[in-house]
Amino acid sequence: MKSVNALLPIALAALAMLASPPACARQAPLVDLQVQDLELGHALPWHPHRGRHYIEGRPGHRYSLVLHNTTGERVLAVVSVDGVNAISGETAGTGQSGYVLGPWQRLEVRGWRKNLSEVAQFHFTDLPDSYAARTGRPDNVGVIGVAVFRERPVADYPSSPVPIAGKESRGAGKPGPASDAAAPSAEASRMDRGLARQQLGTGHGERRRDAATTTRFERASRWPAQTLQLHYDGTEALVARGVLPRRWPQHEDAPVAFPIGFVPDP
C-alpha cells in the first residue's frame, strides 16, 4: 500500500443524490454552478456585463449554491462566498478545504458549515450585516467563487482513519490556468465602483441540518483546473452599473401631452 506523503485539507463528501451520466459525451466545464433562490424556488439567471457575470439578489431571501460535477471522476470544489471559505470560515484561498463531488454528482451547499451535521444558512442581506463584514472582512463582499481540482490517481488509500489538517499552503490564493471568463479591466472595475456601491452581502442565518462526512482527496495539481466567479448585488446597484435595464416608474400624476378626451368647461 502506498503512503501519502502529505496531509491534505479537510475534504467533505456531502450526502447527496448521484445523477445519471449524460447519454452522449460532450465537452463541458468540470463543475457547473447555479444559485438557487430558496424563497422563489428557482435558479437565478446570470447577467453578463463587462467580462463578469452577475445575479440579482433580494434582501432576506435564502439561497443555495448548486454544484454539478459534469465528469465521471471525483473532483474537489473549494467554495468561497464574499472572500470567505464556506467550510472553514478562513479568508479564502484555493488551497483550502472544499467539497468532494462524486462522478456526475449534484451538491447543494446551503450555508456556512458549522460542523459535520449543520450549516448556517446563506441569505442576502445588507452589506454591514454580512458575515464577512461582521468578521472584519468587507472588501470582497458580493462575489461567489469555486475553485475545482481534479484528483490524482492513486493505487490505494489507507483504510485507517486519516487525520485532518486545517489547510494546505500550496497554491493558496493563486488563480488557476483555466478561468470561465476574462478578468474585467481595471477601468471597468473603477467605473462599476463609481456608479454604485455594493449593497448586498451574504448573512450568517439560522442553522439547519446538513450532513457531511470527511474523506481523503489528493489533488492532481497545485493550481485549480477550473475557476468560477459570480458577482451579485441588489436591483438598484445592478441597474446603476448597467447590468440590468432601467425600470422606469409609472407615476399616475405625471402630466401627459395628449390625454384622450374632450375639452371640459372651465
Digit-coded pLDDT (tens) for 94-149: 999 999 999 999 999 999 999 999 999 999 999 999 999 999 999 999 999 999 99
Residues 6+ apart with CB under 8 A from 222: 95, 170, 171
Who wins on pLDDT, 31 or 28? 31
Band of the pLDDT at 259, cuts 50, 70, 90?
low
Grid coordinates standing for 57?
Answer: 439578489
Residues 6+ apart with CB under 8 A from 173: 92, 93, 94, 95
**pLDDT for residue 247 is more than 50:** yes
C-alpha atoms less than 13 angstroms from C-alpha of 264 in its C-beta half-sphere: 4
Cβ distance 202 to 82 under 8 Å?
A: yes
Chain segment 196-245, per-residue pLDDT in tens: 789 999 999 999 999 999 999 999 999 999 999 999 999 999 999 999 99
pTM for the structure as a whole: 0.73
**pLDDT for residue 60 is more than 60:** yes
Least confident of 4-8, 14-18, 128-132, 157-161: 4-8
CA dihedral 116, 118, 123, 128 (to 10 degrees): -80
